[in-house]
Chains A and B, each alone.
Chain A
């Protein structure tokens, strides 16, 4: 029996994702050409690939911002749309943060709870400062506006905002792009720690090799519209696939 049971919103821990035969085209351009993938509940999964390979497009499919041309994405057995997304707690940290520039940091972080009236204002204020501390932002940032912050701070605010949703699935789009190596390291550690602490299924999309190998349980390599290789970081390093080795070996050292 196929029981259309709603996604359990009170369950702790993560949600499993299964992607089947996913194709996505924009006009004549076929960006994703058939992706099959199972991501386990609570897993920290990294999708790595060159720029323009369709990583962001893939992530948008996972959270149902766009519907696939063919194929399906099931989160905990259900497809995700604007109408059904609220049943699961899913959060996405966008590449540019996606913070509302007209709201202060505190208002941004409290936005979800306030709009859905999930908590009284005093409690929202408490949760906001707790989340801001969790991502190690000083208290005086809370009254600033996003354009006044550095890229790294904005990203951490976005993470704090995602955390207020108490998510069972968190998606990160290029969490370390535009960050200097040290801040990138803290953000990477933050993702790792949150995954351990909350047990939320975490999908990170990046072209940053160090981040991918540093935090992932499993890494997938996306190129030319398909998953070319999949495995633990150790397995991936040993994978002889030329496309992958080329991507991993690319650096400035003279040939």
Chain B
């Protein structure tokens, strides 16, 4: 994986240099955004609801037992927006969108579509990678906002309806509003933006590196997904460590 790192940074650099042309690619960006939304919104909704629910269940039991039931909302709210929504959405997107990007670019490579672009002097990175990277960098943070809301609602729902916790909706939300600050939400969004760039770059890189014809596509997809997830978890630790002093 680390042997590829240099090439990935090069790919990212080349893409960034193409950003001035992003406006021309707005149609392609729109198409990518639509596909990402289409492929992930329902899953994101399910996932977030249950993550919020599980947080309420686990945390709620402990807190209620110690007479701290009124704090469940804050616990769910913070865990969701700072950690679980960004990481879980990133893993979902790596599996659902990273794989699709690697497969699509991989088959374009295998069927000589990328070579054809080069012979027409159409820069494959500007034409193929740029719109995908922009779309994922917009979509993942947006998905995290959505996930936060659904997760909070899921937590509130479980907290109020589970008889062992029985924290009313209003109490839950009051605690959430009290404990979750704007900067906590931004913390999560910033992480998810970095994750998005990582997933997009890795997936496009492995797609474009596809060798050995159509058979190579499967290998590229596997690499794209596993490397994305590993890097997301690694970056999560590093970013959390870096952002920690700003959280106080």
A binding-site residues for B, Cβ under 8 Å: 60, 63, 65, 82, 85-86, 90-92, 94-101, 111-112, 115-116, 158, 165
Rounded to whole Å, the gap between the CB of A124 and the closest CB of chain B is: 14
Q: Are A82 and B118 in contact (CB under 8 A)?
A: yes
Q: Which residues of B contact A82 (CB under 8 A)?
A: 118, 121
* B115 within 8 A of partner (CB): yes
Q: Are B119 and A92 in contact (CB under 8 A)?
A: yes
Digit string of B107-132 for contact with A (CB within 8 Å is 1, else 0)?
01001110111111110000100000
Contacts A/B (CB < 8 Å), 22 sampled:
A65-B118, A65-B119, A82-B118, A85-B118, A85-B119, A90-B119, A91-B119, A94-B115, A97-B112, A98-B111, A98-B112, A98-B113, A98-B116, A99-B113, A100-B117, A101-B108, A101-B111, A111-B120, A112-B120, A112-B121, A112-B122, A115-B122
Binding site of B, secondary structure by majority: helix, strand, loop or mixed?
A: helix
Q: Are B120 and A94 in contact (CB under 8 A)?
A: no
Total A-B pairs, Cβ < 8 A:
50
Q: Are B112 and A96 in contact (CB under 8 A)?
A: yes
Q: Which residues of B contact A165 (CB under 8 A)?
A: 120
CA gap between A115 and B118 in the complex, in Å: 12
Given contacts A96-B111, A96-B112, 18 further A-B contacts (CB under 8 A): A60-B115, A63-B119, A65-B118, A85-B118, A86-B121, A91-B119, A91-B120, A92-B115, A94-B115, A94-B116, A97-B111, A97-B112, A98-B112, A98-B115, A98-B116, A100-B108, A100-B113, A111-B122
Q: Which residues of B contact A111 (CB under 8 A)?
A: 120, 122
Rounded to whole Å, the gap between the CB of B61 and the closest CB of chain A is: 50
CA gap between A86 and B119 in the complex, in Å: 9
Q: Which residues of B contact A112 (CB under 8 A)?
A: 120-122
Rounded to whole Å, the gap between the CB of A186 and the closest CB of chain B is: 22
Q: Which residue of A lies closest to B121 (CB)?
A: A86
Report the 6 A-B pairs with minimum CB-CB distance, sorted nearest first: A98-B116, A98-B112, A94-B112, A86-B121, A112-B120, A92-B119
Rounded to whole Å, the gap between the CB of A114 and the closest CB of chain B is: 10
Rounded to whole Å, the gap between the CB of A70 and the closest CB of chain B is: 23
Q: Which residue of B lies closest to A103 (CB)?
A: B113
Q: Which residues of B contact A90 (CB under 8 A)?
A: 119
CA gap between A92 and B111 in the complex, in Å: 14
